[in-house]
Structure 1
Amino acid sequence: MPVLNRIADFADEMKGWRRHLHQYPELEFQCHETAAFIVERLREMGVDEIHEGIATSGVVAIINGQGAGRTIGLRADMDALPIDEATGAEYASKVPGKMHACGHDGHVTMLLGAAKYLCETRRFSGRVALLFQPAEEDGGGGNVMVQEGVMDTFDIAEVYGIHNAPGLPFGQFQTTRGALMASVDTAVVHVTGRGGHAATPHECIDPIPAVVSMVQGLQTILSRNIFAMDEAVLSVTMIHAGTASNIVPEEAMFAATIRCFKPEVRALLKKRIYEIIEGQAAAFNVTARIDYDWGYPPTINHADQADFAASVAREVVGPSLVNAEAGREMGSEDFSYMLEARPGAYLFLGTGPGAGLHHPAFDFNDEAAPVGASFFARLVETALPAK
């Protein structure tokens, strides 16, 4: 794999960083030990500025190039998942109930590898802002960093990120212009009737038939309200009711995930969900409370930056391993907030065969870290050529 020679020289060091991080996963905004490890490495490398405590535990580091120029932002997420690890690796998680099951340890390693190279060579003008972000999996740390003014404070002109992709051929980059990943919203519906003995249902108001009818009604939204060419997903993923076979419960609940790409589709989905649930509640004489969480927006690549990133990827891995017209997917990503704030692009990097993301047997392929680091480094050198 044609990675930069200097980055190839310290590939083993990168592997050590990644495997250390893998053993000590942290969740959401509480990535303090992860951040401390990152800061220690950055100080060893000689970055010019380190700013800590952003979005609770996030880190922004600045590397100055040769003379004036724009600032390019490079982002890596740091947080892990609440999963018991099942890899059996000698460097497996030492924290019960937590593991790096999405490869964020690998993302941090890629960015640290690029930082080490860029600090040594400085073959660029302007500045690089290294964005180490907490709470991608839950909490929207990307949004918090934007709201805390990261883009303005550090005068970031463009921003780029990578996510590892198990199952894609090793070293293959995928991206696209426009929408790459979906928005994600969540609806939790609490339905209240009147409980009682199951032998006398006429004395009760049963919430279960109401929930069943609501769930069936929601399935008509995609087939009858959304234009067939506008991709959307509405999946009811939880239903809970009752405690015994001879009791009509007082309450029932269900939850759904809602995903799409267009703002107008997103708004219509919410509108129809409310209309159907409220209508069915009236029909069954129950009350319904809807807790609707407006989650991450769609991840939308800017056209020029997506084309540029793809051209850099071709330089690193060759044209045959770059798909710049990849299909979009229904997963979501809070890098979307950074792309709302600044032009940029997000890419997937194939890591070859292995367990999928969020699986207890998942493990990041260490051989991919030098590829991702080389991409970041060449992106900076190409976008900000030394004068």
Structure 2
Amino acid sequence: MEYVILAVVIAVIAVGAVAGLVVTGRRRKELPPKPAEPATLAPPTPREPQVGDEAAPPREAPVQTVEEVQLPVAAPEIEAPEPTAGRLVRLRSRLSRSQNALGKGLLTLLSRDRLDEDTWEEIEETLLTADIGVAPTQELVDRLRTRVKVLGTRTPAELRTLLAEELVALIGTEADRSLHTAKHEDGRPAVVLVVGVNGVGKTTTSGKLGRVLVADGRKVVLGAADTFRAAAADQLQTWGERVGARTVRGPEGGDPASVAFDAVKEGIAEGADTVLIDTAGRLHTKTGLMDELGKVKRVVEKHGPVDEVLLVLDATTGQNGLVQARVFAEVVDITGIVLTKLDGTAKGGIVVQVQRELGVPVKLIGLGEGADDLAPFEPAAFVDALIGD
């Protein structure tokens, strides 16, 4: 019996020993292998500063002088306007589209086999419809009658030459159509005033005229004396920046005469060749505004005489444009006419009539909306486009 109890005890002890070995082995397998060398820990990621954190000690930033600081330069690209020489010839197609009806209509009537009184009346009506005016029309018809009788034969080429010669003579070739924009001998710049009523494209014409002057090699200063419309001053400044011309402007609603005076003063200081002053659009029915235009001219003349006073007229307004011209001529001495929108009307005869009314020549004509669509007026080139091929 004692042997049996001893055997049981030994068996229990043996089973416990085996179980302990198994558990120990399992635990050893679950433990990770011991690293050969301790791992290097990465520095902690800096967190965003929070409210209540202590400020870090100030760091000294490098100090730059005014000369060392690089400022962004955003100068506008300077454009090179088209040369004015031959510009009217280049724009001939725009002129002929609207004016061709007049020239071709006259040639058709003159080419009839029999030029009776009814035909001559039709010729007169055609000329009057084109706004040439009563007196110039009668002069032209009388000369055409005489020359056709003397000519005898009337081939198309002969008629075209005859009509061209008479139209050029009617427009006139003796007048001085040059722009007086050269610097004076004493170094004072030439001064050009641009005047006209609202709606004729006066500020746009002033900007285009600035391009004409730059294309002719002039150094130009622009004066934005239309202080009643901030948009007009902005527009003129944009035109100037495109060709590198400086614009002098004043506060909105300021004194136009003061701006004009400052523009000439600036032109003298900069050694400019020409100062171009864009005045406000004056309604010819407003006596006070017209008086103000006279004041602008008088104030500018404190620097010296005004070289050009250019009246801008809309060619499409016809007789109303002539009324405007007469009133402006009473206030300031007009030296030349700028006819705009001549490509949009068949009334090219206004060139003749406005010259007769004012006794001053048409010096520039506008033939489109492009930047270089303002051209010096050349009678022969104008008539050539008028008649066509």
Is the pair's TM-score, using the shorter chain for normalization, greater than 0.5? no
Normalising to structure 1: TM-score of the pair?
A: 0.25
Which protein has the bigger helix share? 2
Whichever of the two has the greater Rg, that structure is 2
